C-alpha cells in the first residue's frame, strides 16, 4: 500500500515555542506563555521529532534548524536528570526545578527519547551524550509500576536494542516490561473489555504499540496476540465510524461506565497514529494502514466536529476539541503530537511530505 496522504510540515511554531532552555509548555494562542515554564515530557517528545525529521531526506534543507532544536531538547533532558538517573519534569521559566522527582510517565518518555537518539545518532555527539544519560536512567526501569510509564520506557529499551546499544544488556528489562504489560492485560481484560486497565484514558495507543514492538523483539507470541487484541479493541471503540472519536478527558471511559466525548486532545490522536503505523510496519494489515490515515485526518478536520486542529498559518496545532469548537491555544504538546504524527506516517510509507513554498529548495 503506497502513500495516501501528503502531510504539511512547518517548523515555525516549534521554533516559536523553543528558547535557549527548551520548549515552553503552553501558549496563549500561538504566542509562548513563558509563565508556564518547561516540562521533560514536552522536550523528550520534541527531541524525537527533531532528530526524526532531520533523518528524512525530504527535510534535508532543514538539517541545521532541526539540529539546533535537538541541541536544546537534549540539553534540557541532561539538565533535568538527577544524579541518581531519574528525572524531574516541571521546570520554571527561571530554570528552577519545581519538584524533586517527576512522574513515571515523564521518566518513560525521557528514556524513549534517549533510546531513539542512541539508535539513530550512534556516531554523533547526540548519541554519545544520550547513551550516558540512558545508562544512568535504565536501572530505574524495574521500579516502574504504572502501565503507561512502563510502555514509554519499553519503547526506549526497544530503540536501544534495535540500535545495538546494550548497557548491561537491556534485553532482560525489555522482557520484564513485556511480561508486566501482559500481566496487566490478564488482570483487567474480560468480555467486551480487552484492555490493560479499568479505564481508557490518555495516550491509549502507546500501550499496544509498545507491546507490539517489545513482543516482536523477544519473540513473545502471547504478547503479540494481546497487542493485536488491544489495538482491535481500540479500533472498535474509537474508530467504528468514519472518523476517530477520541475518549474525552472530562471523565475518560471507565469500564462499565459512560464514555466522555470531550475534550479530545491532539496527543491522544497522535498516540493512535503511532499505534496504527507501528502495527502496519510489524503486521502489514491493511486495516492498520487505514486506521493510521483516519487517525491522522483527525488533525485535519475528520473528527466529531468537522473542525481542523492543525493550523497551517502558524504551523501549530490547537490544544483540544470540544462541542462546537476548539481550544485556540497552541501549546507544545499539541504541535509535537502533530509533527510526530507526520513523521510516523512518512516513516511507515503512508504519506509524503509537503514543504511550505518558502522552504522548497530552488531548482538547480
Average pLDDT of each block of 10 consecutive residues along the chain (364 residues)? Answer: 84 98 98 98 98 95 96 98 98 97 98 96 91 95 97 97 81 95 97 97 98 97 98 96 95 96 97 98 96 98 97 97 96 98 97 72 33
CATH assignment of 5-359? Answer: 1.50.10.10
pLDDT at 170: 85
* 321 Cβ neighbours under 8 A, 6+ residues apart: 246, 262, 263, 264, 303, 304, 305, 307, 309, 327
Contacts 24+ apart (CB under 8 A), 232-238: 232/194, 233/193, 233/194, 233/195, 234/200, 234/204, 234/205, 234/208, 234/272, 234/275, 235/287, 235/291, 237/200, 238/204, 238/272
Predicted confidence at residue 176, as pLDDT, reads 97
pLDDT score, position 349 = 96
How far apart are the C-alpha atoms of 86 and 301, rounded to whole Å? 39
Alpha-carbon distance of 47 to 98, in angstroms, equals 22
pTM: 0.95
**pLDDT for the residue 1:** 64
pLDDT, residue 364, reads 30
Amino acid at each position: 500500500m503506497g502513500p495516501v496522504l501528503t502531510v504539511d510540515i512547518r517548523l515555525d511554531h516549534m521554533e516559536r515555542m523553543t528558547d535557549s532552555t527548551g520548549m515552553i509548555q503552553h501558549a496563549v494562542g500561538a504566542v509562548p506563555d513563558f509563565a508556564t515554564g518547561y516540562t521533560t515530557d514536552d522536550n523528550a517528545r520534541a527531541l524525537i521529532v527533531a532528530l526524526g525529521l532531520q533523518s528524512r531526506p525530504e527535510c534535508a534543507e532543514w538539517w541545521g534548524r532541526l539540529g539546533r532544536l535537538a541541541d536544546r531538547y537534549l540539553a534540557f533532558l541532561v539538565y533535568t536528570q538527577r544524579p541518581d538517573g531519574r528525572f524531574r519534569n516541571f521546570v520554571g521559566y527561571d530554570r528552577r526545578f519545581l519538584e524533586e522527582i517527576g512522574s513515571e510517565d515523564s521518566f518513560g518518555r525521557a528514556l524513549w527519547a534517549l533510546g531513539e537518539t542512541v539508535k539513530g545518532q550512534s556516531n554523533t555527539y547526540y548519541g554519545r551524550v544520550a547513551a550516558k544519560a540512558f545508562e544512568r536512567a535504565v536501572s530505574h526501569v524495574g521500579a516502574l509500576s504504572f502501565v503507561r510509564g512502563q510502555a514509554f520506557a519499553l519503547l526506549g529499551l526497544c530503540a536501544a536494542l534495535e540500535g545495538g546499544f546494550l548497557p548491561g544488556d537491556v534485553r532482560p528489562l525489555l522482557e520484564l516490561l513485556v511480561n508486566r504489560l501482559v500481566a496487566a492485560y490478564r488482570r483487567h481484560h474480560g468480555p467486551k473489555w480487552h484492555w490493560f486497565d479499568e479505564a481508557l484514558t490518555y495516550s491509549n495507543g502507546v500501550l499496544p504499540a509498545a507491546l507490539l514492538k517489545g513482543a516482536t523483539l523477544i519473540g513473545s507470541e502471547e504478547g503479540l496476540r494481546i497487542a493485536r487484541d488491544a489495538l482491535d479493541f481500540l479500533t472498535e471503540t474509537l474508530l467504528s465510524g468514519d472518523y476517530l472519536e477520541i475518549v474525552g478527558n472530562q471523565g475518560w471511559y471507565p469500564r462499565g461506565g459512560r464514555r466522555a466525548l470531550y475534550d479530545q486532545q491532539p496527543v491522544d490522536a497522535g498516540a493512535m497514529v503511532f499505534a496504527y503505523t507501528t502495527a502496519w510496519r510489524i503486521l502489514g494489515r491493511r486495516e492498520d494502514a487505514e486506521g493510521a490515515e483516519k487517525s491522522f485526518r483527525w488533525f485535519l478536520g475528520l473528527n466529531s466536529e468537522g473542525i481542523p486542529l492543525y493550523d497551517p498559518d502558524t504551523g501549530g496545532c490547537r490544544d483540544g476539541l470540544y462541542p462546537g469548537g476548539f481550544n485556540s491555544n497552541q501549546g507544545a504538546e499539541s504541535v509535537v503530537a502533530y509533527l510526530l504524527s507526520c513523521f510516523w506516517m512518512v516513516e511507515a510509507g503512508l504519506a509524503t511530505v509537503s514543504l511550505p513554498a518558502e522552504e522548497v529548495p530552488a531548482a538547480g
